[in-house]
Amino acid sequence: MFKGMTVVGTVLGLAILAGAASGQDAAQKALADATKARQAQMQLYAFNLGLLGGMAKGEVPYDATAASAAAGNLASLAQLDQSRLWPEGSDEMGVEGSKVMAELWQNMPDVMSKGADLVTAATAMEVAAGTDLASLQAAMGPLGGACGACHKAYRVPSN
């Protein structure tokens, strides 16, 4: 009888442990998913910037309609709801492939302000891209500055 209870207890205990482990797995997966989604968003920024930058460098002929569309995408991307994209714990130590420093979560007011700067720069690019090539070229610097400000402060250096 006593032995039977021990067996039941052990089985129960193992089941609880397994449950906890799978809960942990699910939490870890959520962090990894958010990291992947963030990186996908960055890819979309880069893809749209590629067209604008190509025009700015003179490698692609300037086309107001195409440039406006790409810049509009940037402005939309910058204004996506990101409340689920940056869960705490999805830093470089917490998720493989993440390059976010843990400091980001200790400086949320600064992060939000840098995010607002990006929206401003992307919105300015939306206007500039549809105006003319010189305006587009002039708007590249502030846009790069807005991207770089956050990378400089909160991304692990890759070099």
Partner 1 sequence: MRKTLTIIGFFAVALAGAGWWITTPERVDAGDYADLIGVPARGAVVFHAGGCASCHSAEGASGDKKLVLSGGRAFVSDFGTFHAPNISADPEHGIGDWSVTDLANAMIHGTSPTGQHYYPAFPYAAYSRVRPQDIADLHAYLITLPADATPDRAHDLAFPFTLRRGLGLWKALYVTDGWQVAGDLTEVEARGRYLAEALGHCAECHTPRGVLGGLDRDRWMAGAPNPSGQGTIPNITPAKLDWSEADLIAYFTSGFTPDYDTAGGSMAAVVESLAQLPDADRAALAAYLKRLPAVE
112 forms part of the interface with partner 1 (CB under 8 A)? no
Report, in Å, the least distance between residue 140 CB and partner 1: 4
Member of 85, 105, 115, 155 binding partner 1 (CB under 8 A):
155
| Rounded CA separation 40/38 (Å) | 5
Q: Please count the other Cβ atoms lying within 10 Å of the Cβ belonging to residue 130.
A: 16
Q: Closer to partner 1 at the Cβ: 36 or 151? A: 151
Q: Which is nearer to partner 1, 13 or 58 (CB)?
A: 58
Which residue do the tokens 């939306």 mark?
126
Which range in 8-16, 27-35, 84-92, 138-146 contacts partner 1 by CB under 8 A? 138-146
Side-chain half-sphere CA neighbours of 128 within 13 A: 24
Smallest gap from residue 92 Cβ to partner 1 (A): 12
Residue ranges in 56-95 that form contacts with partner 1 under rule CB under 8 A: 56-59
What is the CA angle 26-12-28, rounded to 5? 10
The owner of tokens 């490698």 is: 59
Burial 100-113, CB ≥16 within 10 A → b, else e: bbeebbeeeeebee
Question: Does 147 participate in binding partner 1 (rule CB under 8 A)?
Answer: yes
Contact between 54 and 98 under an 8 Å Cβ cutoff? The reply is: no
Q: Does 140 bind partner 1 (CB under 8 A)?
A: yes
Residue 38 binds partner 1, judged by CB under 8 A: no
Which parts of this chain interact with partner 1 (CB under 8 A)? 45-47, 49-50, 53, 56-59, 140-141, 143-145, 147-149, 151-153, 155, 157-159
